[in-house]
Structure 1
Amino acid sequence: MARTTTSRFSTWLNRSSLRQRYLGAALAVSATILAASLYTDYHIRQAQERSTRNIEHRNQVQLVTRSLRNDVWGTEYALQAFILTPTAWYRETVQLRIRSALTTTEKLQGLEWPQQQGLGRTLDEIDHALLELSSAANRLMDIRSDVEQLFPAARLMDETLAPARTEFLTAVQLALQELETAVPDAARREIRDEFEAAQLSWLQMVGAFRLYVVRQAGIYSDTEKGLNDAAHDISLHHGQVLKTLERLHQLRSQPQFSLQATESLEQMTRNASVWYRAFERFRSLRQTGHWRADFPLIKDEIQPLFASIWDNLDHIDARVEEAAVRDVTHWSALTHNLRNGIMLLVALVLITFAVGYIFFQRTVLSPLSTLTRAMNQVAHGQYQERLPAPRNRETRNLLDAFQHMQHMIEQRQNELRHQTLHDGLTGLPNRLLLNDRMQQALLISARDGNPFCLLMMDLDRFKEINDTLGHHVGDEVLREISRRLHDLLRRSDTVARLGGDEFAVLLPETGIPEAQAIAGKIAQCLDRAISINDQQLLVDTSIGIAAYPDHGSDIDTLVKRADVAMYVAKNNGLTHSVYSSEHDPHSVSRLAMISELRHSFQHDELELHYQPKVAISSGELVGVEALLRWPRWNDVSTDYIITTAEQTGLIRPLTQWVIRRALEQHLAWQRLNINLPIAINLSTWNLEHADIDANIGELLDELGVPPEYLELEITENAMLKNPERAQEILQRLSQRGIRLSIDDYGTGFSSLAYLKQMPVREIKIDRSFVSDMLEDENDAVIVRSTIDLAHNLGLKVVAEGVETADIWDMLQILDCDIAQGHYIARPMSAARFTDWLRERAQKRADTHQDSA
């Protein structure tokens, strides 16, 4: 019976699929995990419910005690405020807070949890302390409301000290006024000096008394020593007053001592005596402890009551914290038990996986390994290797798939061979096949001595069609052009699509005159309108011609020189152009200049000159523009240097050199207290490389220059070349805090509404419009319209090419923001700019002084 059962199980294993076998094992493991999860969930729920109840009780107690703390704190704060400013509102607030605290205490006594925790006695103590606090607070506020009861010395200050001080000073002023009206002589001057000395000593004594009162109020630290020092100063000044009065009594015998001076002297003597006796009484009140009547009540009753309430509240919070710790301890014990259970479950799963792996090794891996070796043999053409017999459904399906794959490989190889050598969109030969046929043409021409020509061509306005009508229309245009070229040329010629809208034509055994004629036919052929979806589309072409062996003897040279000729044709509006070394950017003189350019910025032989930008409304200097200068090649324009750097790959290090030198110059000016933003021009190349923002950010961080002091100017045409990429890079630069500006605005074909999508702050009107605006009404209209539209879009406007005062005045009338040009200053070196700035500041100061 057992043998029969085993045999049936083996038969089921062989016939069943791997999916069925593993489904059974997965169900067993899942059932075990589910049972363990349900058991664990039950215990967690029990602990969670118990912990939730405890948390709710604690939160309820904490909420009430927090309210009670707020009431007690509010009572203490309002009572302190009443002591400083005894108003009815603060009195009502104190009483209201105490009543609220008593109500909150009753609510806390009615909760179940505090009674369970043995906190009933603590709550009774809080309630009793609040009742006593209410009584003591009322007594304190009654005392504070009565000034005479609170401060016995106040009446002495108001009724004796203040009048005596006033009468003394009045007597002095009367005597001095009379002496001022009399004819001055030596005796009267002596009498007047003594009266003034008495007045000074009296004021010093009164000042010392005020300091005494301030120290008595406890405003300064070390009160007792300060009081003794102030009393000592009062005594010294009083003695000085008495000595001065004694000298005045001695001068009474002189005839110049008038009647008013005699009466003033008697009043001064009498008030000095009255004032000092009152001060002695004032001082004795402080020393006997009757200075303020509210201090003993605060110290002996109110402060201990507050301390008792706070201690009891802290005791309640401590008991709440202990209960929370007990809950955490319970959870820790539960976690320990769960961890043990999880470890047992993990051990069970590991054992299950070990058994499953052994089973997987015998039923899957071993047969698949045998099958893999057999497939490798078949792949190498050794078909004699016998494939293993299938032991399950999956292995049998795999063998069928392998046989089907072997058939499909050969078919796919043929397709890949064609795709590798042809363009997928047009079916024309691609660059790889073109190079192969050019290599054959080179060998044949070298053998037979016959020339051949290579035509490089691309389509004008194709990008506009693509962007406006969509890529599917652009693809149809490319297919139509491919058909026209294929039908036009000879079967021996090769038409290839190199990518995008760029094509190449190989003309074997063809000289330059014949190639020019064929190029003309191509241009005429493509000049006909292309009809797609009832739309008539026009596409122009620019063709460059390079001939073997006149223009090169290898593939790379011919391709490069055909490219050069094509760009010459495009830049000059021609349908085709033959290569000429005069237009080659890789000529000998140009290579020499490139070599010297690399050497110059590596050895700091380039210079930056700076041209100021001035706010038209205020005349204030708002920034400078950094302009590249190359002393060794003065006759070469900056635009030509930039173009050469872009074509030779030097633009990246050159851009970094310019930005670094400009930022270093900003730091140098900053040390001279000159803080001006520096504007730098970015070329088209910079907007085509996504890491320009990271490079600039690294330079700013390295040199420690805030980004708002760097302004980048981008030409309108540079942004229009690839608007999406330009907007992405400019957004990242703007997010770094770098200011952005549109340079040479008006020379491109964009609108201000389009530029509003760019994160720029200002636009610079091209100098070609500004410099002729006084003579050319059209230029004036363009400038005025640009300023108005830019302001409506929230952009500032900079006018370049301000050469005269008349242009400045006109820009001021048109409400232009900033001006730049030779009228303000020509570009200058950093040292000369510093001198110019100093001279300008001096001129503005002199002008302001003259106008004042």
Structure 2
Amino acid sequence: MKTNPSLSRQGSLRFFYILIVILVVSIMVGGAISASLYVNKVTRDNAQVLQLQNRVTDEIAELRGAIWLADNALHDLLMSTQSEHHRAIRENLERASASLEKLKQNMAMASPWLDGRMRGFEENFERLKDDILTLVALRQDPEWLYPMLPFISRTLLESNEEFILAANLALNEIEAEEGKSAGPLYRAFDEVRDLWQELILNFRAIIIRFAGLNAVQEISQEENIRIIHAQIMNKLDGLTRLREQGRLGFETEAALETMRFRAEKWYRDYQDLKNLRQTHIWRADLEYLNARIRPRQARVFADLNVLERELVAWSSRNATEVEEAATKINLGLWTLSAVAIGLLLLIYYLLHRLVLSPLERIAETISAEGRNIEDLSLPGRGSREVHTLIQAFNSLRRQIHQRQIALQHQALSDALTGLPNRALLQDRLEQAVHLAHRQNTCLAVLLLDLDRFKEINDTLGHPTGDTVLQQVASRLLECIGEADTVARLGGDEFAIIVPDTDTEQIARFVECINLAIDRKLEVESHTLYVSASIGAALFPRHGTDPMTLIRHADVAMYAAKRNKAPYVLYETSLDEQTFDNLSLLGDLRAELESAAGQLQLWYQPQLRLGDRSVTGVEALLRWAHPAQGFVSPERVVGLAEKSGLITELTRWVLEHAIADCAAWQSDHPDLKVSVNLSAMNLQDPDLPATVRELITRHDLEPDQLALEITESAVMGDPVHAREVLQVLSLMGLELVIDDYGTGFSSLAYLKLLPVSSLK
């Protein structure tokens, strides 16, 4: 039998399939190789550009940061001259120079046309560096730093010394003529000398303020100088009239002329000094800073901004090249796709039976599986590629499921301790309340806040504080049962849910928690101790919903912290105390405004032990509240301090105490009155003026009023407290340190304060 020639000339399906596949593969592989080489080149160039841009950006940031740190150290140096400030300035300038060298190298690699920008920036930076180092060196010369000091030492000091010398000569001659009986003439010259010394003290206070703060605003000492100088001139006029009557000796007359001349000259020179001060050259270093360094610094930062913009522009050009490469690749891919589509149409029939049919079965099976997370399987036989696809799909679904579990854990857990967070606590508390309601059982919610934790954070740093929180969380987990929940709400606050419990069990449970927390903590090389304030609320006794239980537990916790108790169970009276404080605050404000007579001063006598005579009284505040009876002074002062009424309350006490003491003077002329001041009163700039106004209005001698200040109030801000006490002392008031020994001051420091006694 002969073979049909037409059939023999037809190729087999396998041959056509292999031929088409080889053709398609050749086109695709050739195009892919060409595209890959091109993409690799563009990607490599772009990656180098990005790396270089990142390095340059980091160097600019480091350079800018070093300049800022040097500027901060310079500012600290201007405020307080210390050796570490000099060292910090030089170290940061050296860091900036090192960063500049790296930046120059990277800029040269980036683009040669950026060299001109870099040269200008480098020149400005070197000038800035030289200016800063020059300023540091010049500040070693006090006469350069304070140009007014030579004027003071050569002009004002001469008048002061001449005035004091003339006053002493006059007093010596008067004493020689009148003896030591200190007659009216002697007292007149002595008063002039004392006024002059008080004037010089106020002048020194002004000089200290000028030199330390470079402030030009007028202060109270300047007004004091005007008043005292006028008093001096009035007294000198009186002495001049005595001279015209021939009642002065020869040396006294000469001394009087010198005192008048020097007083007038000193005051004129003082006015010249004030005018010079207004020229803003009291501190030469600040003038140098503003005139030389700040403009140079602005130019340096402007140059850095220009460099960053140029770098972004250069990087954008590289990004444009990448976009052009992507466009070329897209065109090539479209061309290959068009060729491939034509060839694929020829083999569609073969692919339909070998590929598309199995894919349809896979799609049907996946649709039948739905949302089930079990592994997908296909009935019957399938190709290796199909089974590989199924395995990849199953692996993908497992990974998605695992990531969903991880995200859920992150959303409901505290990142630091691993405990449930507030959201998960709320969910579990709702479930626990629902279960307790259904089973008719009791449920406890505990809120726990660590005491002294802020001191650990502020002293040893937040990493140490985080370790403390982790160890506390571990100890809380050791204390709870399987059904209990412990969560971290944030900061140093924790919450615990204890189902199926009662009051006695909660008390024992809290005792276990306190024992666990009170144990020492070993953190790095530190041995630390913390304690906790715990508040508890019970379901259904204190609330039937989660929000009420948490709020009542929070009220109890703050009551424990306020009363320094380790544990407080919620009571309705705790809410009443909060309401009482708000009510008392409103009543106190109304009483201070209306003076209805509820506030009273009681006086405790102060006795001299030798003869048991009364030398003074101490004013004690009492409040006869119409509804709550007598309210303790501690509570009244605490409310006033928290609400900002302490200034009004202090003025009320001073007003009545001074008025009462002035009224007693006719029967008891030597009787003094003592008034206690709050720590916040020392921060009141108007306190000296208020006291001066009240003693003037009631015609009370300043030495008959004593102000008592606690030791802790003085040590809270010792510098400011000393300034305020100096002003009060110059007014003639007696100052007393109260509660000495309860703080951290020493007698050596107290000797520097103008106080007369300790209690």
- TM-score category of the 2 structures, normalised to the smaller one: 0.3 to 0.5
Q: What's the TM-score, normalizing by structure 1? A: 0.34
Q: What's the TM-score, normalizing by structure 2? A: 0.38
Work out which of the two has the higher radius of gyration on C-alpha atoms and give 1 or 2. 1
